[in-house]
Chains A and B, each alone.
Chain A
Protein backbone atom coordinates (compact mmCIF):
# COMPACT_ATOMS: atom_id res chain seq x y z
CA UNK A 1 0.00 0.00 0.00
CA UNK A 2 1.31 3.44 -0.90
CA UNK A 3 1.74 5.87 1.94
CA UNK A 4 2.78 8.61 -0.41
CA UNK A 5 2.58 8.83 -4.14
CA UNK A 6 3.84 11.65 -6.28
CA UNK A 7 3.15 12.02 -9.96
CA UNK A 8 4.57 14.34 -12.61
CA UNK A 9 6.02 16.81 -10.13
CA UNK A 10 7.49 19.94 -11.70
CA UNK A 11 9.23 22.57 -9.63
CA UNK A 12 11.15 25.64 -10.81
CA UNK A 13 13.04 28.38 -9.07
CA UNK A 14 12.67 31.32 -11.41
CA UNK A 15 13.80 30.13 -14.82
CA UNK A 16 15.59 26.97 -13.67
CA UNK A 17 13.49 23.85 -13.51
CA UNK A 18 14.80 21.80 -10.62
CA UNK A 19 12.31 18.91 -10.68
CA UNK A 20 11.28 17.80 -14.15
CA UNK A 21 8.31 15.47 -14.10
CA UNK A 22 9.19 13.31 -11.10
CA UNK A 23 6.99 10.36 -10.19
CA UNK A 24 7.56 7.93 -7.37
CA UNK A 25 5.77 6.29 -4.49
CA UNK A 26 6.61 5.25 -0.97
CA UNK A 27 5.13 2.01 0.33
CA UNK A 28 4.29 1.38 3.94
CA UNK A 29 7.20 0.04 5.93
CA UNK A 30 9.78 0.52 3.21
CA UNK A 31 13.04 2.41 3.24
CA UNK A 32 13.56 4.41 0.08
CA UNK A 33 16.98 5.90 -0.55
CA UNK A 34 17.48 8.84 -2.88
CA UNK A 35 20.97 9.23 -4.30
CA UNK A 36 22.42 11.53 -6.91
CA UNK A 37 24.97 14.26 -7.53
CA UNK A 38 24.89 17.63 -5.84
CA UNK A 39 22.28 19.95 -7.31
CA UNK A 40 20.23 17.13 -8.79
CA UNK A 41 17.15 18.20 -6.80
CA UNK A 42 17.08 15.67 -3.96
CA UNK A 43 16.56 18.23 -1.22
CA UNK A 44 14.00 20.10 -3.29
CA UNK A 45 12.07 16.85 -3.73
CA UNK A 46 11.98 16.23 0.04
CA UNK A 47 11.05 19.85 0.67
CA UNK A 48 8.13 19.58 -1.76
CA UNK A 49 6.93 16.39 -0.09
CA UNK A 50 7.10 17.99 3.37
CA UNK A 51 5.37 21.20 2.24
CA UNK A 52 8.40 23.40 2.75
CA UNK A 53 8.24 24.20 -0.96
CA UNK A 54 5.27 24.32 -3.29
CA UNK A 55 5.36 22.43 -6.58
CA UNK A 56 4.40 24.18 -9.84
CA UNK A 57 2.39 21.22 -11.03
CA UNK A 58 1.87 17.54 -10.36
CA UNK A 59 -0.05 15.39 -7.90
CA UNK A 60 0.98 14.33 -4.44
CA UNK A 61 -1.29 12.12 -2.41
CA UNK A 62 -0.76 11.01 1.18
CA UNK A 63 -2.77 7.86 1.87
CA UNK A 64 -6.08 8.96 0.37
CA UNK A 65 -5.67 12.64 1.18
CA UNK A 66 -4.68 14.76 -1.80
CA UNK A 67 -1.98 17.28 -0.99
CA UNK A 68 -1.75 18.88 -4.42
CA UNK A 69 -3.38 18.12 -7.73
CA UNK A 70 -2.82 19.53 -11.17
CA UNK A 71 -5.78 21.71 -12.05
CA UNK A 72 -7.35 22.57 -15.40
CA UNK A 73 -4.72 25.11 -16.33
CA UNK A 74 -1.85 22.76 -15.59
CA UNK A 75 -1.02 24.41 -12.29
CA UNK A 76 -0.76 22.56 -9.02
CA UNK A 77 -3.72 23.29 -6.76
CA UNK A 78 -3.11 22.64 -3.08
CA UNK A 79 -5.70 21.30 -0.69
CA UNK A 80 -7.04 23.76 1.87
CA UNK A 81 -4.93 24.59 4.92
CA UNK A 82 -6.60 22.25 7.41
CA UNK A 83 -6.07 19.26 5.11
CA UNK A 84 -2.42 20.20 4.63
CA UNK A 85 -2.02 20.59 8.38
CA UNK A 86 -3.53 17.14 8.86
CA UNK A 87 -1.15 15.65 6.30
CA UNK A 88 1.82 17.49 7.77
CA UNK A 89 1.23 15.84 11.12
CA UNK A 90 2.08 12.48 9.62
CA UNK A 91 5.45 13.61 8.28
CA UNK A 92 8.74 13.94 10.07
CA UNK A 93 11.84 15.55 8.61
CA UNK A 94 15.41 15.28 9.80
CA UNK A 95 17.75 17.93 8.43
CA UNK A 96 21.39 17.80 7.49
CA UNK A 97 22.23 20.48 10.06
CA UNK A 98 19.80 19.23 12.74
CA UNK A 99 17.92 22.53 13.24
CA UNK A 100 17.29 21.87 16.89
CA UNK A 101 15.84 24.80 18.83
CA UNK A 102 18.94 26.19 20.57
CA UNK A 103 17.04 27.93 23.39
CA UNK A 104 15.24 24.77 24.51
CA UNK A 105 16.63 21.86 26.47
CA UNK A 106 16.86 18.49 24.77
CA UNK A 107 13.68 17.37 26.52
CA UNK A 108 11.75 20.47 25.50
CA UNK A 109 12.94 20.18 21.91
CA UNK A 110 11.18 16.84 21.84
CA UNK A 111 8.07 17.67 23.87
CA UNK A 112 7.29 21.09 22.39
CA UNK A 113 5.41 19.86 19.31
CA UNK A 114 3.53 17.01 21.04
CA UNK A 115 2.29 19.50 23.64
CA UNK A 116 1.57 22.50 21.43
CA UNK A 117 0.55 20.78 18.21
CA UNK A 118 -0.77 17.35 19.18
CA UNK A 119 -2.29 18.58 22.44
CA UNK A 120 -0.63 15.96 24.63
CA UNK A 121 -0.32 16.57 28.35
CA UNK A 122 3.13 17.48 29.63
CA UNK A 123 3.45 14.19 31.55
CA UNK A 124 2.49 12.14 28.52
CA UNK A 125 4.85 14.04 26.21
CA UNK A 126 7.72 13.87 28.66
CA UNK A 127 7.40 10.18 29.34
CA UNK A 128 7.34 9.48 25.63
CA UNK A 129 10.30 11.80 25.07
CA UNK A 130 12.27 10.01 27.79
CA UNK A 131 11.55 6.66 26.17
CA UNK A 132 12.79 8.01 22.84
CA UNK A 133 15.90 9.47 24.43
CA UNK A 134 16.66 6.15 26.04
CA UNK A 135 16.27 4.42 22.64
CA UNK A 136 18.77 6.95 21.29
CA UNK A 137 21.18 6.33 24.18
CA UNK A 138 20.77 9.91 25.41
CA UNK A 139 18.96 9.43 28.71
CA UNK A 140 21.54 11.47 30.57
CA UNK A 141 21.19 14.46 28.23
CA UNK A 142 17.57 15.49 28.67
CA UNK A 143 18.48 18.69 30.51
CA UNK A 144 21.37 19.61 28.21
CA UNK A 145 21.10 22.32 25.57
CA UNK A 146 21.84 21.51 21.92
CA UNK A 147 25.07 23.56 21.97
CA UNK A 148 26.42 21.23 24.64
CA UNK A 149 26.04 18.13 22.45
CA UNK A 150 28.18 16.61 19.72
CA UNK A 151 26.84 16.64 16.17
CA UNK A 152 25.92 12.98 16.40
CA UNK A 153 24.05 13.54 19.65
CA UNK A 154 22.24 16.56 18.20
CA UNK A 155 21.16 14.52 15.21
CA UNK A 156 19.86 11.77 17.48
CA UNK A 157 17.83 14.36 19.38
CA UNK A 158 16.51 15.64 16.04
CA UNK A 159 15.42 12.11 15.14
CA UNK A 160 13.75 11.72 18.54
CA UNK A 161 12.01 15.08 18.03
CA UNK A 162 10.64 13.91 14.67
CA UNK A 163 9.62 10.53 16.11
CA UNK A 164 7.78 12.11 19.03
CA UNK A 165 4.84 12.97 16.78
CA UNK A 166 4.66 9.32 15.68
CA UNK A 167 4.99 10.13 11.99
CA UNK A 168 3.86 7.83 9.24
CA UNK A 169 6.84 8.75 7.09
CA UNK A 170 10.18 10.00 8.24
CA UNK A 171 12.21 11.97 5.69
CA UNK A 172 15.95 12.40 6.09
CA UNK A 173 17.96 14.94 4.09
CA UNK A 174 21.58 13.83 4.22
CA UNK A 175 21.39 13.17 7.96
CA UNK A 176 25.09 12.37 8.22
CA UNK A 177 26.65 14.90 5.85
CA UNK A 178 27.47 17.38 8.59
CA UNK A 179 29.10 14.71 10.75
CA UNK A 180 32.57 13.23 11.14
CA UNK A 181 32.93 9.66 9.87
CA UNK A 182 32.87 8.21 13.41
CA UNK A 183 29.62 10.03 14.19
CA UNK A 184 28.10 9.03 10.86
CA UNK A 185 28.08 5.43 12.02
CA UNK A 186 26.06 6.15 15.14
CA UNK A 187 23.32 7.90 13.14
CA UNK A 188 23.21 5.18 10.51
CA UNK A 189 22.82 2.65 13.31
CA UNK A 190 19.79 4.55 14.61
CA UNK A 191 18.23 4.64 11.13
CA UNK A 192 18.96 0.93 10.71
CA UNK A 193 17.12 0.23 13.97
CA UNK A 194 14.14 2.27 12.75
CA UNK A 195 14.18 0.28 9.51
CA UNK A 196 14.09 -2.98 11.48
CA UNK A 197 11.02 -1.62 13.29
CA UNK A 198 9.41 -1.13 9.83
CA UNK A 199 9.39 2.65 9.98
CA UNK A 200 8.57 4.11 6.57
CA UNK A 201 11.53 6.27 5.58
CA UNK A 202 12.82 8.31 2.66
CA UNK A 203 16.52 8.94 3.03
CA UNK A 204 18.58 11.27 0.85
CA UNK A 205 22.13 10.06 1.34
CA UNK A 206 25.63 9.92 -0.02
CA UNK A 207 26.35 6.77 2.00
CA UNK A 208 26.20 4.17 -0.77
CA UNK A 209 26.89 1.19 1.47
CA UNK A 210 24.04 2.28 3.71
CA UNK A 211 21.70 2.78 0.75
CA UNK A 212 22.61 -0.64 -0.60
CA UNK A 213 22.32 -2.54 2.67
CA UNK A 214 19.41 -0.85 4.44
CA UNK A 215 17.00 0.38 1.78
CA UNK A 216 14.34 -1.60 0.04
CA UNK A 217 14.48 0.61 -3.02
CA UNK A 218 16.84 3.22 -4.42
CA UNK A 219 16.12 6.21 -6.62
CA UNK A 220 18.97 7.75 -8.57
CA UNK A 221 18.32 11.37 -9.54
CA UNK A 222 20.29 13.59 -11.87
CA UNK A 223 19.43 17.12 -13.07
CA UNK A 224 15.88 16.96 -11.82
CA UNK A 225 14.88 13.61 -13.28
CA UNK A 226 14.78 10.08 -11.91
CA UNK A 227 17.31 8.28 -14.04
CA UNK A 228 16.98 4.87 -12.48
CA UNK A 229 15.13 3.24 -9.62
CA UNK A 230 14.78 -0.23 -8.26
CA UNK A 231 16.40 -2.84 -6.09
CA UNK A 232 19.37 -1.30 -4.24
CA UNK A 233 21.83 -4.07 -5.14
CA UNK A 234 20.86 -3.84 -8.77
CA UNK A 235 20.98 -0.03 -8.97
CA UNK A 236 24.18 0.38 -6.97
CA UNK A 237 26.14 -2.66 -8.09
CA UNK A 238 24.82 -3.19 -11.61
CA UNK A 239 23.42 0.15 -12.76
CA UNK A 240 21.70 0.08 -16.12
CA UNK A 241 22.26 3.70 -17.05
CA UNK A 242 25.56 5.23 -18.02
CA UNK A 243 24.87 8.30 -15.83
CA UNK A 244 24.32 6.15 -12.76
CA UNK A 245 27.52 4.28 -13.50
CA UNK A 246 29.52 7.51 -13.83
CA UNK A 247 28.08 8.85 -10.58
CA UNK A 248 28.72 5.62 -8.66
CA UNK A 249 32.26 5.26 -9.95
CA UNK A 250 33.16 8.05 -7.52
CA UNK A 251 32.19 5.83 -4.60
CA UNK A 252 34.75 3.09 -5.14
CA UNK A 253 35.16 0.44 -2.53
CA UNK A 254 31.61 0.18 -1.29
Chain B
Protein backbone atom coordinates (compact mmCIF):
# COMPACT_ATOMS: atom_id res chain seq x y z
CA UNK B 1 0.00 0.00 0.00
CA UNK B 2 2.94 2.21 0.71
CA UNK B 3 3.66 2.60 -2.98
CA UNK B 4 0.20 4.04 -3.79
CA UNK B 5 0.03 7.74 -4.50
CA UNK B 6 -2.55 9.93 -2.85
CA UNK B 7 -4.10 10.41 -6.22
CA UNK B 8 -4.51 6.67 -6.75
CA UNK B 9 -6.00 6.25 -3.29
CA UNK B 10 -8.55 9.04 -3.85
CA UNK B 11 -9.54 7.76 -7.29
CA UNK B 12 -9.97 4.24 -5.88
CA UNK B 13 -12.13 5.51 -3.06
CA UNK B 14 -14.23 7.51 -5.49
CA UNK B 15 -14.89 4.50 -7.73
CA UNK B 16 -15.70 2.36 -4.73
CA UNK B 17 -18.15 4.92 -3.45
CA UNK B 18 -20.12 4.31 -6.65
CA UNK B 19 -20.03 0.55 -6.09
CA UNK B 20 -21.14 0.99 -2.50
CA UNK B 21 -24.35 2.56 -3.81
CA UNK B 22 -24.99 -0.60 -5.83
CA UNK B 23 -24.37 -2.75 -2.75
CA UNK B 24 -26.75 -0.60 -0.71
CA UNK B 25 -29.37 -0.78 -3.45
CA UNK B 26 -29.12 -4.55 -3.56
CA UNK B 27 -29.41 -4.69 0.23
CA UNK B 28 -32.30 -2.22 0.47
CA UNK B 29 -34.41 -3.56 -2.38
CA UNK B 30 -33.93 -7.14 -1.24
CA UNK B 31 -35.31 -6.21 2.18
CA UNK B 32 -38.11 -4.16 0.64
CA UNK B 33 -39.36 -7.17 -1.33
CA UNK B 34 -38.28 -10.11 0.83
CA UNK B 35 -39.73 -8.88 4.13
CA UNK B 36 -43.38 -8.75 2.97
CA UNK B 37 -42.95 -11.69 0.60
CA UNK B 38 -41.58 -13.78 3.46
CA UNK B 39 -44.70 -13.02 5.49
CA UNK B 40 -46.93 -14.24 2.65
CA UNK B 41 -44.79 -17.35 2.27
CA UNK B 42 -45.04 -18.05 6.00
CA UNK B 43 -48.85 -17.82 5.74
CA UNK B 44 -48.72 -20.34 2.90
CA UNK B 45 -46.44 -22.58 4.93
CA UNK B 46 -48.98 -22.54 7.79
CA UNK B 47 -52.01 -22.82 5.51
CA UNK B 48 -54.62 -25.52 6.01
CA UNK B 49 -54.63 -26.10 2.24
CA UNK B 50 -52.30 -29.06 1.80
CA UNK B 51 -51.21 -28.55 -1.84
CA UNK B 52 -50.30 -24.93 -1.08
CA UNK B 53 -48.34 -26.01 1.98
CA UNK B 54 -46.48 -28.63 -0.04
CA UNK B 55 -45.67 -26.17 -2.82
CA UNK B 56 -44.30 -23.71 -0.26
CA UNK B 57 -42.26 -26.43 1.41
CA UNK B 58 -40.71 -27.33 -1.94
CA UNK B 59 -39.89 -23.68 -2.57
CA UNK B 60 -38.32 -23.37 0.88
CA UNK B 61 -36.26 -26.51 0.32
CA UNK B 62 -34.92 -25.31 -3.01
CA UNK B 63 -34.17 -21.78 -1.85
CA UNK B 64 -32.50 -22.84 1.36
CA UNK B 65 -31.01 -26.04 0.02
CA UNK B 66 -29.00 -24.72 -2.92
CA UNK B 67 -26.24 -22.09 -2.97
CA UNK B 68 -27.41 -18.54 -3.52
CA UNK B 69 -24.55 -18.16 -5.97
CA UNK B 70 -25.97 -20.90 -8.18
CA UNK B 71 -29.43 -19.35 -7.90
CA UNK B 72 -27.98 -16.07 -9.14
CA UNK B 73 -26.37 -17.73 -12.17
CA UNK B 74 -29.57 -19.65 -12.81
CA UNK B 75 -31.77 -16.54 -12.76
CA UNK B 76 -29.37 -14.62 -14.97
CA UNK B 77 -29.52 -17.31 -17.63
CA UNK B 78 -33.17 -18.25 -17.28
CA UNK B 79 -34.82 -14.86 -16.91
CA UNK B 80 -34.81 -13.11 -20.28
CA UNK B 81 -34.03 -9.92 -18.40
CA UNK B 82 -32.76 -7.98 -21.40
CA UNK B 83 -35.87 -8.72 -23.47
CA UNK B 84 -38.37 -8.07 -20.68
CA UNK B 85 -36.85 -4.90 -19.29
CA UNK B 86 -37.05 -1.63 -21.25
CA UNK B 87 -34.23 -1.01 -23.75
CA UNK B 88 -33.32 2.17 -21.92
CA UNK B 89 -32.07 0.09 -18.98
CA UNK B 90 -28.32 -0.32 -19.00
CA UNK B 91 -26.64 -3.70 -18.83
CA UNK B 92 -25.70 -2.99 -15.22
CA UNK B 93 -29.29 -2.11 -14.28
CA UNK B 94 -30.54 -5.36 -15.81
CA UNK B 95 -27.94 -7.34 -13.87
CA UNK B 96 -28.82 -5.56 -10.64
CA UNK B 97 -32.55 -6.21 -11.13
CA UNK B 98 -31.97 -9.92 -11.71
CA UNK B 99 -29.79 -10.02 -8.60
CA UNK B 100 -32.54 -8.29 -6.59
CA UNK B 101 -35.08 -10.86 -7.83
CA UNK B 102 -32.84 -13.78 -6.87
CA UNK B 103 -31.93 -12.30 -3.49
CA UNK B 104 -35.55 -11.45 -2.69
CA UNK B 105 -36.77 -14.96 -3.47
CA UNK B 106 -33.90 -16.48 -1.51
CA UNK B 107 -34.19 -14.25 1.55
CA UNK B 108 -37.99 -14.46 1.60
CA UNK B 109 -37.51 -18.18 2.28
CA UNK B 110 -35.35 -17.53 5.33
CA UNK B 111 -37.58 -14.69 6.55
CA UNK B 112 -40.64 -16.92 6.14
CA UNK B 113 -39.24 -19.49 8.51
CA UNK B 114 -38.33 -16.79 11.02
CA UNK B 115 -41.84 -15.31 10.80
CA UNK B 116 -43.35 -18.75 11.21
CA UNK B 117 -41.39 -19.53 14.35
CA UNK B 118 -42.35 -16.10 15.71
CA UNK B 119 -46.03 -16.50 14.88
CA UNK B 120 -46.21 -20.02 16.28
CA UNK B 121 -44.40 -18.84 19.40
CA UNK B 122 -47.19 -16.45 20.39
CA UNK B 123 -49.26 -18.38 22.95
CA UNK B 124 -52.61 -19.57 21.60
CA UNK B 125 -54.29 -17.87 24.57
CA UNK B 126 -53.52 -14.51 22.97
CA UNK B 127 -55.56 -15.36 19.88
CA UNK B 128 -58.30 -16.89 22.00
CA UNK B 129 -58.57 -13.81 24.19
CA UNK B 130 -58.79 -11.65 21.07
CA UNK B 131 -61.40 -13.93 19.50
CA UNK B 132 -63.65 -13.84 22.57
CA UNK B 133 -63.32 -10.04 22.64
CA UNK B 134 -64.69 -10.06 19.09
CA UNK B 135 -61.58 -9.09 17.13
CA UNK B 136 -61.67 -10.14 13.50
CA UNK B 137 -58.88 -12.37 12.22
CA UNK B 138 -57.15 -9.39 10.66
CA UNK B 139 -57.40 -7.29 13.80
CA UNK B 140 -56.11 -10.18 15.86
CA UNK B 141 -53.14 -10.62 13.56
CA UNK B 142 -52.16 -6.98 13.20
CA UNK B 143 -52.89 -5.70 16.71
CA UNK B 144 -52.28 -8.72 18.92
CA UNK B 145 -50.03 -11.24 17.17
CA UNK B 146 -47.75 -9.21 14.91
CA UNK B 147 -46.42 -6.78 17.55
CA UNK B 148 -45.39 -9.76 19.67
CA UNK B 149 -43.90 -11.51 16.64
CA UNK B 150 -41.73 -8.48 15.90
CA UNK B 151 -40.24 -8.59 19.37
CA UNK B 152 -39.66 -12.33 19.17
CA UNK B 153 -37.98 -12.34 15.78
CA UNK B 154 -35.64 -9.38 16.23
CA UNK B 155 -32.58 -11.45 17.21
CA UNK B 156 -32.78 -13.96 14.31
CA UNK B 157 -33.70 -11.12 11.92
CA UNK B 158 -30.60 -9.24 13.03
CA UNK B 159 -28.50 -12.23 12.07
CA UNK B 160 -30.21 -12.51 8.72
CA UNK B 161 -29.72 -8.81 7.93
CA UNK B 162 -26.02 -9.04 8.73
CA UNK B 163 -25.67 -12.12 6.55
CA UNK B 164 -27.42 -10.28 3.75
CA UNK B 165 -24.93 -7.41 3.97
CA UNK B 166 -22.12 -9.87 3.32
CA UNK B 167 -24.08 -11.99 0.82
CA UNK B 168 -24.52 -9.01 -1.51
CA UNK B 169 -20.94 -9.75 -2.58
CA UNK B 170 -22.19 -12.93 -4.26
CA UNK B 171 -23.84 -10.79 -6.95
CA UNK B 172 -20.40 -10.49 -8.53
CA UNK B 173 -20.95 -13.90 -10.21
CA UNK B 174 -23.34 -12.21 -12.62
CA UNK B 175 -21.03 -9.19 -12.85
CA UNK B 176 -23.10 -6.78 -10.82
CA UNK B 177 -20.71 -3.93 -10.12
CA UNK B 178 -21.03 -4.07 -6.36
CA UNK B 179 -18.31 -3.54 -3.78
CA UNK B 180 -16.51 -6.87 -3.92
CA UNK B 181 -16.67 -7.15 -7.69
CA UNK B 182 -15.09 -3.72 -8.10
CA UNK B 183 -12.55 -4.29 -5.34
CA UNK B 184 -11.41 -7.45 -7.12
CA UNK B 185 -11.09 -5.66 -10.42
CA UNK B 186 -9.11 -2.72 -9.06
CA UNK B 187 -6.98 -5.03 -6.98
CA UNK B 188 -6.00 -6.97 -10.09
CA UNK B 189 -5.14 -3.91 -12.12
CA UNK B 190 -3.31 -2.05 -9.34
CA UNK B 191 -1.72 -5.13 -7.84
CA UNK B 192 -2.62 -3.78 -4.43
CA UNK B 193 -4.63 -5.18 -1.56
CA UNK B 194 -5.88 -1.67 -0.72
CA UNK B 195 -9.31 -1.83 -2.48
CA UNK B 196 -10.06 -5.17 -0.86
CA UNK B 197 -9.33 -3.73 2.56
CA UNK B 198 -11.59 -0.77 1.76
CA UNK B 199 -14.39 -3.16 0.78
CA UNK B 200 -13.95 -5.14 3.98
CA UNK B 201 -14.09 -1.94 6.04
CA UNK B 202 -17.25 -0.96 4.18
CA UNK B 203 -19.05 -4.23 5.02
CA UNK B 204 -17.84 -3.98 8.58
CA UNK B 205 -19.20 -0.46 8.98
CA UNK B 206 -22.48 -1.35 7.36
CA UNK B 207 -22.92 -4.26 9.71
CA UNK B 208 -21.97 -2.14 12.69
CA UNK B 209 -24.87 0.14 11.74
CA UNK B 210 -27.26 -2.79 11.23
CA UNK B 211 -26.24 -4.31 14.53
CA UNK B 212 -26.69 -0.99 16.33
CA UNK B 213 -30.16 -0.54 14.82
CA UNK B 214 -31.22 -3.95 16.04
CA UNK B 215 -29.92 -3.42 19.56
CA UNK B 216 -31.78 -0.08 19.70
CA UNK B 217 -34.96 -1.78 18.48
CA UNK B 218 -34.58 -4.58 21.01
CA UNK B 219 -34.12 -2.04 23.78
CA UNK B 220 -37.18 -0.11 22.70
CA UNK B 221 -39.29 -3.26 22.83
CA UNK B 222 -37.91 -4.38 26.18
CA UNK B 223 -40.69 -2.63 28.10
CA UNK B 224 -42.59 -5.92 28.16
CA UNK B 225 -41.87 -9.61 28.00
Considering the chains assembled together, what is the distance between the CA atoms of A99 and B126 in angstroms?
A: 6
Among A89-139, those with CB < 8 Å from B are 89, 91-93, 95, 97, 99-103, 112-113, 116-118
- Distance in angstroms between the alpha carbons of A100 and B125 in the assembled complex: 9
Given A101-B144, A112-B143, A146-B224, the answer on whether A117 and B125 have CB atoms closer than 8 Å is no
The chain B residue sitting closest to A86, CB to CB, is B134
Structural contact, B151 and A103, CB atoms closer than 8 A: yes
Chain A residue at minimal CB-CB distance from B223: A145
A116 to B144, CA, bound (A): 12
Q: Complex Cα distance A51/B131, Å? A: 9
Is A116's CB under 8 angstroms from B224's CB? Answer: no
How many A residues are at the interface, by size bracket? 20 to 34
Hey, which chain A residues are within 8 Å of B143, CB to CB? 112, 116
**Could you tell me the distance in whole angstroms from the C-beta of B171 to the nearest C-beta in chain A?**
38
Would you call A165 and B134 a contact (CB within 8 A)? Answer: yes
Write out the residue numbers on chain A whose beta carbons fall within 8 Å of the beta carbon of B224: 102-103, 145-147
Closest to B146 in A: A103
Using known A-B contacts A99-B125, A102-B224, A145-B224, determine if residue A52 contacts B132 with beta carbons closer than 8 Å.
Answer: yes
Instruction: Contact check, B132 vs A93: say whether CB atoms are below 8 A apart.
Output: yes
Q: Is A161 located at the chain interface by the 8 A CB criterion? A: yes
List B63-122 residues whose CB lies under 8 Å from chain A.
Answer: none
Minimal beta-carbon separation of A73 from chain B (angstroms):
23
Tell me whether B59 is interfacial, beta carbon within 8 Å.
no
Could you tell me the distance between the alpha carbons of A138 and B83 in the complex, rounded to whole angstroms? 67
A95 lies within 8 A of B134 (CB): no
Report if B225 contacts A (CB, 8 A): yes
With A102-B148, A103-B148, A147-B225 known as contacts, the answer to whether A89 contacts B134 (CB < 8 A) is: yes
Whether A102 contacts B131 by the Cβ 8 Å rule is no
Closest to A158 in B: B129
B139 at the interface (CB under 8 A from A): yes
Instruction: Give the complex CA separation of A211 and B128 in angstroms.
Output: 26
Residue A50 at the chain B interface, CB threshold 8 Å: yes
B30 CB, min distance to chain A CBs, angstroms: 28
A117 vs B139: C-alpha distance in the bound complex, in angstroms?
9
Contact A91 B132 (CB under 8 A): yes
The answer, yes or no, to whether A8 is at the interface (CB within 8 Å) is no
Q: With CB as the reference atom, state the residue of chain B lying closest to A113.
A: B133
Does A97 contact B125, Cβ atoms closer than 8 Å?
A: yes
Which A residues, 153 to 193, have Cβ-Cβ distances below 8 Å to chain B?
Answer: 161-162, 165
Which of B130, B132, B151, B223 contacts A50 (CB under 8 A)?
Answer: B132
Closest chain A residue to B123 by CB distance?
A99
Q: Does A88 contact B (CB under 8 A)?
A: yes
Whole-angstrom distance between the Cβ of B38 and the nearest chain A Cβ? 22
B155 in the interface (beta carbon within 8 A): no
Cα A63 to Cα B202 with chains together (Å): 69
Query: Which residues of chain B have C-beta atoms less than 8 A from A100's C-beta?
Result: 129
A161 CA to B139 CA, complexed, in Å: 17
B18 near A: Cβ within 8 Å? Answer: no
**A17 interface residue (CB < 8 Å to B):** no
Q: Is the CB of B128 within 8 A of A113?
A: no
User: What is the CB-to-nearest-CB distance from B219 to chain A, in angstroms, rounded to a whole number?
Assistant: 15
What is the distance, in angstroms, from B69's C-beta to the closest C-beta of chain A?
Answer: 40
Q: Are A117 and B133 in contact (CB under 8 A)?
A: yes
The answer to whether B129 and A95 have CB atoms under 8 Å apart is: yes
Closest to B128 in A: A52
CB-CB under 8 A for A85 and B128, given A102-B225, A103-B147, A103-B224: no
* Bound Cα distance A126, B169 (Å): 53
B131 proximity list for chain A (CB < 8 A): 51-52, 88
Determine the chain B residues whose CB is within 8 A of the CB of A92 once the complex forms: 132
Chain A proximity of B223: nearest CB distance (Å): 6
Query: Quick one: given A112-B143, A145-B223, A147-B225, are A88 and B132 in contact (CB under 8 Å)?
Result: yes
Chain A residues whose CB sits within 8 angstroms of the CB of B223 once the complex forms? 145
Residue contact B139 to A95, C-beta cutoff 8 Å: no
- For B133, what are the chain A residues with a Cβ–Cβ distance below 8 Å? 112-113, 117, 161-162, 165
Encoded as 1 (CB less than 8 Å from any A CB) or 0, chain B from 142 to 183 comes to 011001100100000000000000000000000000000000
Given A99-B125, A99-B126, A113-B133, output 7 extra A-B contacts at Cβ < 8 Å. Answer: A88-B134, A93-B132, A95-B129, A101-B126, A102-B224, A103-B147, A162-B132
Residues of B near any A CB (own CB < 8 A) = 123, 125-126, 128-135, 139, 143-144, 147-148, 151, 223-225
Task: Identify the A interface with B (CB < 8 A).
Answer: 50-52, 85, 88-89, 91-93, 95, 97, 99-103, 112-113, 116-118, 145-147, 161-162, 165
